[in-house]
Amino acid sequence: MLDMWMHASWNCVASFGRFVEIGKRELIDAGRLDMSIFLRNTTFTAFDLSDLFYHDSKTHRDILSNTMKEVLEMYRAGEIQPVPITTFDASDMVQAYRYFSLKDRVGKVVISLENQSSRIPVAPPKYLTIFDPEKAYVLIGCLGGLGRSLSDWMLGRGARHFVFLGRTGCDKPSAHELVFRLRDAGANVTVVRGDVSDIDAVNATIAACEHKPIGGVVQAAMGLHEALLLRRGIQPLNEDEFLQIIDLAIVQEKGASYKGTSHILTGLEPFRVRELKTQGFDVSHGTLQDPRASIIATAFRGPHDDSKSNIQIQIADIQWLKEAPASVVSVAAILVAEMDAPSLHDAVLRVTRKQFSNLILMPLERIENGKPLLDFGIDSMIAAEFRTWVWTAFKVDIPFLDILSPHKSLGMLSNFIAAELEKGRA
């Protein structure tokens, strides 16, 4: 598209006038010229001086040599003056670029390196990872979503050989577009249709590497419903965060001074957790009770959340705990908030109902005790998380299929937990 100043200048050409374009940006961008100006008998000419220098004809090269000779003679004689030059020190490079972009700037802008003590501002590289262009990189399930961003990023960091394994291959338009874009940029791309659980598909993927050493494997053949990332303040990663984490993981692996493996924990964002707390949800996580997670747990609780330290368990004040078996007394800390409940069964139901409300982020008043858990829209992952919480809180093992059963309600499961506690089983 022609620059607005280009349009304005072309519109100013007088009748029988000539316009000589010595730039190339508008020509390369295939800009459109206003043809009505030619009604003034004007002439538009594009001219690139370097074409004379590189021309095959000696006649054209001689024209450039003779012209340069004439210009130098006129300059030495003082007949022509150089264009204004504005000089900036290397330490003022940012100001130089700002000045260069001013619309009323005239002349040339020069960056001076004469001052050897100048400090040049340098921004650290955003990503440090460099991929080997002679190695093949296997990407499983990376033909959609963040996988497309990852392959583009790897291409920009040097990777040139990609082998994708996906169940749908290039059937989706987005996958087809990705492969076309990578190949158009000079990459060698092979797509194998198949599932990673199929050993024949995996072998075909490895064979497609064409005897090149494999530089790495990205296993992304898993999709999570967005509700899993947003529960309890666990946040989804945006594209930039995702790439920076991948970059950090690879760089640490290359520069590690220790032997072994490590994990990078992502998505735990304490501010969102506190926001959910202000909405009335108890977003405490059973895993954070592990002493090894004490630092993360402290961040989740916040600087002023000392409620746990203020809990005073007074078993003697709770009627249904006075003669309870040891298995019930051992979980009294989690039941103390319901000390006004008329029975152990009611206390367990209240605690379990609140936890289920927090788990699916549904207001407590909408949780019906007699409604099957499956009717609340839970999936296998939520069921597994709920089952883990029951074990952590009560040391009672609920069958996984009971949670997903269309006949089991929250009230029935709570009765089962209470009955197990009364039996003294752990």
Q: What is the pLDDT of residue 104?
A: 83
If one compares 398 and 4, the residue with the highest pLDDT of the two is 398
Going by pLDDT thresholds of 50, 70 and 90, the confidence category of residue 131 is: very high
Strand bridging mode 188-193 / 18-21: unpaired
Q: 305-311 long-range CB contacts below 8 Å, 24 or more apart?
A: 311/336
Q: Architecture of 311-423 per CATH?
A: Orthogonal Bundle (1.10)
Going by pLDDT thresholds of 50, 70 and 90, the confidence category of residue 134 is: very high
In the beta sheet, which residues pair with residue 161? 136, 188
* Mean pLDDT (whole number) for 164-192: 90
Q: Distance (Å, rounded) from C-alpha 290 to C-alpha 338? A: 24
* Mean pLDDT (whole number) for 283-307: 58
- Output the average pLDDT for the chain: 80
> 222, 259 in Cβ contact below 8 A?
no
Of 14-23, 131-140, 270-279, the least confident = 270-279
What's the token pair of residue 124?
């650290």
Distance separating the N- and C-terminal Cα atoms of the chain:
74
If one compares 209 and 333, the residue with the highest pLDDT of the two is 209
Looking at residue 21, the DSSP 8-state letter turns out to be E
* Non-local CB neighbours of 47 within 8 Å, separated by 6+ positions: 20, 21, 22
Q: Distance (Å, rounded) from C-alpha 69 to C-alpha 59? A: 15
Percent of the chain scored above 70 by pLDDT?
73
What string of H, E and C letters represents the secondary structure of 44-96? EEECCHHHHHCCCCHHHHHHHHHHHHHHHHHHHCCCCCCCCEEEEEHHHHHHH
> 115, 90 in Cβ contact below 8 A?
yes
Torsion of CA 179, 182, 188, 191, to 10 degrees: -20
Domain residue ranges of the chain, discontinuous segments joined by +: 4-76, 82-122, 136-223, 311-423
Q: Provide the residue type at 129 as one letter.
A: T
Q: What is the pLDDT of residue 308?
A: 44
Going by pLDDT thresholds of 50, 70 and 90, the confidence category of residue 379 is: confident
The CATH class that applies to domain 4-76 reads alpha beta
Tens digit of pLDDT for each residue in 37-61? Answer: 999 999 998 888 888 888 899 999 9
Q: What is the pLDDT of residue 187?
A: 93
Structure pTM?
A: 0.44
Of 160-164, 248-252, 396-400, the least confident = 248-252
- Among 281, 283, 289, 268, CA closest to 395: 289
Measured CA to CA in angstroms, residue 136 lies from 66, 153, 171, 218, 388 at distances of 54, 15, 23, 12, 41
Per-residue pLDDT for 148 more than 50? yes
The CATH class that applies to domain 136-223 reads alpha beta
Q: Comparing 4-76 with 311-423, is the CATH topology the same?
A: no
Measured CA to CA in angstroms, residue 159 lies from 135, 210, 242, 246, 249 at distances of 8, 15, 18, 15, 17
Per-residue pLDDT for 247 more than 60? yes
Tens digit of pLDDT for each residue in 367-378? Answer: 999 999 888 888
Q: What is the pLDDT of residue 306?
A: 46
